[in-house]
Amino acid sequence: MSILAEQIQKAEKRLDFDPRELRDELRNKTPRDLSTHDQLERRRDFLQDSMKDDQAAWHTFERIINGNELMSINYLERGTQAARSVARVHIVDKSGNTVGWGTGFLIAPRVFITNNHVLPDANVSTHSEVHFQYERDVAGKPKEVVIFGLRPDQLFFTSQELDFSIVAVESNSHKRSLEEFGVLPLIGKLGKVLDGEWLTIIQHPNGERKQICVRDNRLLHRGDDVLWYSTDTLGGSSGSPVFNNDWFVVALHHSGIPKIRNGRIQTRDGRDYDEETMDETLIHWIANEGIRSSRILEFLATALPNHPLLQPIFLQNAVETPPSPPPSLPISHFQSTEPLGSDAIAQVTIPLRLDLTLISRSGKTDQLPSTVETRSRSIRPPMFQINQSIQRSGFDENFLGPEYTVWLPDLNANLLQDAAKLFNQNNQETDETELKYTHFSVALSKSRRFAFYSAANVHFSHRWSLGPRADQWRWDERIPRKYQLDEWFYANNQFDRGHLSRHKDVRWGRTPEEALQAAQDSCSWTNCVPMHSQFNQKGDDTPLWFELEHYILEGCVEASGFKAQIITGPVLAADDPEYKNIQYPVSFWKIVAAVNSKKKLFATAYLLSQAETLDKFGFELVSEVPFGHFETYQTTIHEIELLTGLNFKYGAKRRSLSEIDPLQEAHRSSPVQAERGAPHICRLLYSPDILQLE
């Protein structure tokens, strides 16, 4: 059986779908329609890590998942840079005769990769060579071809299972250095491509000059070892790099599935293919298959973990972030300053320099940003610079006094299983679920990525004039970012980033620095929930949530001059609707505990829904519209417990907080709506029925 027949047979065994049916099915679908939640998260994380610009990464992510083909003009320039590392493989036998052609590319200084069926063994590699710049320039004229010999005596490794071969390349050729052609590093981090996302192959089809296919190229399906895609290829394209939209290599192209009729492979012109008399370029391929780059990297790390020529690849992947674009990186980023001669393989050393980790265009190491500025409310920066690494005390249960203890809510067994656990300084998961901030604490749901609750100590002494407000939303690095919903969800729609523990609630302290620290802590993604802007913000017609917050804080607590414990959260209902593949909460609750003039502890609960707001205004960005007449509602603490799975306790004996709820014994059979601006004694009738957001 020929090598071609073997590869087709392997591909057919892996194929568990009809490529043509799937291609037609995906035609009008976007990556967002086709991808799972985890796949979307990994794709977004990869973009954030590689681009080092969270706003730009989010916009790129939105464009990709929505199937938008518009690209920044630098896409073409970056593609040209990536193409430098791609070369034609001239397969030559020991007599000097041409056996065939292939494609391959540099993955590290002096390390070239192609298919096993292109270079099956070291003997074939000894006589073969690679041709860089076998292409045309901008005027359409042939460039000067730069030919390098191969050195399988220094490095050769092959895998028939994954159909790849790596081989060492000479470092110089006729006064031209291999360094000038850069490398396309293999990145092990997942999230490089989504189902339905556009792909590109740079190739030497049939041994011809370098070409690129930029139309109708989509990822169709993925397996453990391979990706399936619709990109056009020909014979000689074997060993080509398969790129995502960011010009990172996602796969090594190697084979595909031909059109079959009556058990015979078909040609492009509808004839039966004859392997003896016809060239494989005539085959009508219906889908292409590439070996996943992460799988190749994993294989190499297991088989050759200590080979000196492969250390730059392993060191690059030892960090959690991929290199900054452009992906075709200068070789100087990966090797020592000493030139590598053809006989110097035993002396090669790879210094552990910082430029082997996070590589920017300038060649300097960039630190992954921990903050992202969004919707700044001020043209001036904050008055104080805050140390984000200091210890926070979190919610103080005895804030109202040791005799008035109000405890953090208890999570039931199901919530505990879903709660995000903190990691310690050794990056080990602990059993701790309380995220402590300045004057408040949060417990977060892993599955929903919203807080179960945010509990705050509110004080109306120690208030300072801190200057204009400027929100800087931050991830909390004590828990994985995949459990935190950030800016990509809130932009370009009418969702506000709604604070649970309000900015103004916690903006107090013994010093201005402490007050500002608390205010800035409130802008943590863990303390954020999506609220319709008409529901959340102050306007001519005061919205529900703002009115409730204003009533509790300014109307009661601030006016009376006493402290309060305010615990807030969303109702994470199983039938909550979805937006961007995320279930978002419709209803929100607050519980306020304080000490009255008779020195007695009391607690009241409030439950509000933005369903009617969503139903009326939708979520696409529109011009400003007047807000209708909505009401705030008071309910019982017991009802909040039933809706959320939380239990609220007070006192040394941890008694139920509902025991000191004035509404608990009130008549509830026919809720009565009170006047706006007064304490409301009524019950919310929750309804999840709302319009879709798209």
Q: What is the pLDDT of residues 402-440, one digit of tens each?
A: 999 999 999 999 999 999 999 887 778 899 999 999 999
Which carries the bigger pLDDT value, residue 360 or residue 456? Answer: 456
> pLDDT for 623-676, tens place per residue?
222 212 223 467 889 999 999 999 999 999 999 999 988 777 553 433 433 333
Residue 471 pLDDT greater than 90, yes or no: no
With respect to residue 497, please indicate whether it lies within any of the assigned structural domains.
Answer: yes
322 and 406 together in one domain: no
Q: Is the pLDDT of residue 685 over 60?
A: no
Position 546 confidence tier, pLDDT thresholds 50, 70, 90: low
> Quick one: pLDDT at residue 656?
94
DSSP readout, 492-515? TSSEEEEESS-HHHH---SSHHHH
pLDDT tens across 131-180, in order? Answer: 999 999 989 999 999 999 999 999 999 998 899 999 999 999 887 999 99
332 and 426, same structural domain?
Answer: no
Lowest mean pLDDT among 84-93, 164-173, 444-453, 484-493: 484-493
Contact yes or no for 281/205 (Cβ under 8 A):
yes
CA within 13 Å, CB half, 452: 28
According to the per-residue pLDDT averaged within each range, which of 317-321, 476-480, 673-677 is highest? Answer: 476-480
- Domain co-membership, 418 together with 312: no
Position 31 in a domain: yes
- Report the pLDDT value the prediction gives residue 474, as an integer from 0 to 100: 85
Give the domain extent around 557. Answer: 397-660
Instruction: Copy the structure tokens of residue 59.
Output: 């916009």
- The pLDDT of 604-632, averaged and rounded, is 48
- DSSP codes joined into one string, 194-210: -TT-B-EEEE-GGG-S-
Tens-place pLDDT, residues 97-134: 988 889 999 999 999 999 998 999 999 999 999 999 99
Dihedral Cα 573, 578, 584, 588, nearest 10 deg: -50
* Confidence bin at 512 (pLDDT 50/70/90): confident
At residue 327, does pLDDT exceed 60? yes
pLDDT at 678 over 50: no
How far apart are alpha carbons 610 and 613 in whole angstroms? 5
Q: How many independent structural domains does the chain possess?
A: 2
| 389 in any annotated domain | no
Give yes or no for a contact between 430 and 422, defined as CB atoms under 8 angstroms apart: yes
Phi, psi of 664 (to 5 degrees): -60, -40
* pTM, 2 dp: 0.56
Percent of the chain with pLDDT over 90: 31
* Within-domain flag for 344: no
Q: Find which of 136-140, 230-234, 618-622 is predicted with most confidence, using mean pLDDT.
A: 136-140
What pLDDT is attached to residue 342? 36
Instruction: Determine, yes or no, domain membership for 675.
Output: no
Same domain, yes or no: 410 and 322: no
Overall average pLDDT of the 205-219 stretch: 82
Q: Would the pLDDT of 613 be above 80?
A: no
Write down the pLDDT at residue 510: 85
User: What mean pLDDT is predicted for residues 455-469?
Assistant: 75
Q: Per-residue DSSP letters for 629-661?
A: -----EE-HHHHHHHHSEE-EETTTTEEGGGG-
Domain co-membership, 309 together with 440: no
- Does residue 265 belong to any structural domain of this protein? yes
Q: What is the pLDDT of residues 328-363, one digit of tens each?
A: 777 655 543 333 333 333 333 333 332 323 333 333
Q: Torsion angle, CA of 388/393/394/398, rounded to 10 degrees?
A: -160
In a domain, 673, yes or no: no
Residues 262 and 118 in one domain: yes
pLDDT by residue (tens digit) across 550-591? Answer: 555 554 554 444 688 999 999 998 888 888 888 888 888 888
Q: Are residues 404 and 332 part of one domain? A: no
